[in-house]
Copies of this chain bind each other. A is one copy, B any other.
Amino acid sequence: MSGAVKRLIPLFDRVLVERFAKQTTTKGGIVLPDKSTKNVLNATVVAVGPGGRNQQGEFVPCSVKPGDKVLLPEYGGNKLEIDNKEYYLFRDSDILGKWQE
């Protein structure tokens, strides 16, 4: 994880994730052009916000934590580019699941 991204604190229930590396060769060893590969749905949580607010205005903590391996939905999220690397911000409630160790 690069230096700048460490300083980014997501707000509310936003979760900053880094997708797993794309598989760029087939099992048979053929190199895949970048466009032909779909978004990788597995990602590592880099940082989480303090949580969204309930109707009393109190923070409700996120359900994932930095380091968690999560399953992302196919669409959505805000793409960021920090130090030439791609990151994504998702709302906590849009993350589908997490992978147990």
- A→B interface (CB under 8 Å): 7-12, 14, 16, 41, 49-50, 53-58, 60, 63-64, 71, 73-74, 78, 80, 89, 92-93, 95-101
Contact = CB atoms under 8 A, between A and B. Distances in A.
Given A54-B55, A58-B57, A64 B97 contact: no
- Copies, count: 7
The 7 closest A-B pairs by CB, nearest first: A57-B60, A54-B57, A7-B100, A10-B97, A55-B55, A8-B97, A7-B99
Contacts of A71: 8, 80
A73 B78 contact: yes
Contacts of A73: 78
Given A73-B78, A78-B74, A100-B7, A12 B93 contact: yes
